[in-house]
C-alpha cells in the first residue's frame, strides 16, 4: 500500500489535491478536518483544541497521532493520502515508525508567502462535503454555495490574516526539521504549487 505525505504551507493546495485523490479511491486523512470535527462537539477537549486552532498553533502530537492512527488502522487495505501530518519532526518520526508497511512518497508543495496570504484569505469551504474553493476564482454570483452539493460555503476561523501569519511562522519553523527526518530515507518531490490544481494533480500522478 502507498502512503502519500503532502507537505507544504497553509493554502498550498494540499487539501485540494487530497480531495482529488480521494475521488480516485485513496483514503484522505486531513488532521485539520479531524480536529475541526472535534471542535464542533461540546466538551473540555473541544474547547482546548478550539483555542489552539484559533491561534494558529499546533495541537499536541499525541492527540493528533491518535486520530490518524485510528483512521489508518481502520483502513488497512487502502492507499492513503495525508494532508496536514506531520507538522513537526517528532510527528515525522512517529509516522515513519508506525507506517512500516507502506511505501511512503513525499511531496513538498512550494508557494511564496505573498501567495499564501492571498489564497488563505480567499479560501471558502463547503459545510457539507468540505470541498475547497477560492472565491476569486468563482463566478461573482456563486460565492456562497458549493457547486458539487449545493450546501453553504464558510470561511475557516483561522483563515484571518493575523492567524495565517502565525500558521506560516509555525510552518517555516518546523519544515526544515521534517525534511531532515525524511530526506535520509525518501526522495523529496518538490512541486510548484503556484499553478492550476489540474496541472499539479497531473504532476502528482506522475510521481505516484
Helix axes 44-55, 161-183, angle to 10 degrees: 90
Cβ proximity to ligand AMP: between 142 and 169 the closer is 169
Give the residue closest to ligand AMP by C-beta: 32
Least separation in angstroms between CB 63 and ligand AMP: 8
Cβ proximity to ligand AMP: between 6 and 204 the closer is 6
Maximum C-alpha span of the chain: 49
Least separation in angstroms between CB 51 and ligand AMP: 10
Least separation in angstroms between CB 26 and ligand AMP: 17
Residues at the site binding ligand AMP, with contacts judged by CB under 6 A: 10, 31-32, 35, 52-53, 56-59, 64, 84-85, 87, 91, 158, 167
Least separation in angstroms between CB 192 and ligand AMP: 20
Residue 99 CA from chain centroid, whole number: 18
Cβ proximity to ligand AMP: between 142 and 154 the closer is 154
In sequence order, the β-bridge partners of residue 145 are 152
Contact between 8 and 109 under an 8 Å Cβ cutoff? The reply is yes
Least separation in angstroms between CB 182 and ligand AMP: 15
Cβ proximity to ligand AMP: between 58 and 179 the closer is 58
55, 56, 125, 166, 168 from 162: Cα distances, Å: 9, 9, 19, 7, 10
Residues 6+ apart with CB under 8 A from 162: none
Cβ proximity to ligand AMP: between 63 and 138 the closer is 63
In sequence order, the β-bridge partners of residue 190 are 108
H/E segment holding residue 132: strand 132-134
Amino acid at each position: 500500500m502507498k502512503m502519500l505525505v503532502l507537505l507544504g504551507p497553509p493554502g498550498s493546495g494540499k487539501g485540494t489535491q487530497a480531495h482529488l485523490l480521494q475521488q480516485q479511491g485513496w483514503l484522505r486523512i486531513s488532521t485539520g478536518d479531524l480536529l475541526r470535527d472535534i471542535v464542533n462537539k461540546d466538551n473540555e477537549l473541544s474547547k482546548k483544541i478550539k483555542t489552539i486552532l484559533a491561534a494558529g498553533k499546533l495541537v499536541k502530537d499525541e492527540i493528533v497521532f491518535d486520530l490518524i492512527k485510528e483512521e489508518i488502522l481502520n483502513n488497512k487495505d487502502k492507499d492513503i493520502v495525508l494532508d496536514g501530518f506531520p507538522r513537526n519532526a517528532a510527528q515525522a518520526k512517529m509516522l515513519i515508525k508506525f507506517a512500516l508497511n507502506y511505501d511512503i512518497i513525499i511531496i513538498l508543495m512550494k508557494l511564496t508567502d505573498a501567495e499564501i496570504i492571498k489564497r488563505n484569505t480567499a479560501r471558502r469551504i463547503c459545510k457539507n462535503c468540505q470541498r475547497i474553493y477560492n472565491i476569486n476564482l468563482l463566478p461573482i454570483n456563486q460565492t456562497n454555495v458549493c457547486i458539487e452539493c449545493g450546501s453553504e460555503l464558510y470561511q475557516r476561523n483561522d483563515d484571518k490574516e493575523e492567524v495565517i501569519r502565525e500558521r506560516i511562522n509555525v510552518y517555516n519553523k518546523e519544515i526544515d526539521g521534517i525534511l531532515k527526518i525524511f530526506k535520509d530515507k525518501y526522495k523529496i518531490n518538490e512541486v510548484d504549487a503556484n499553478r492550476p490544481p489540474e496541472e499539479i494533480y497531473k504532476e502528482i500522478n506522475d510521481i505516484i
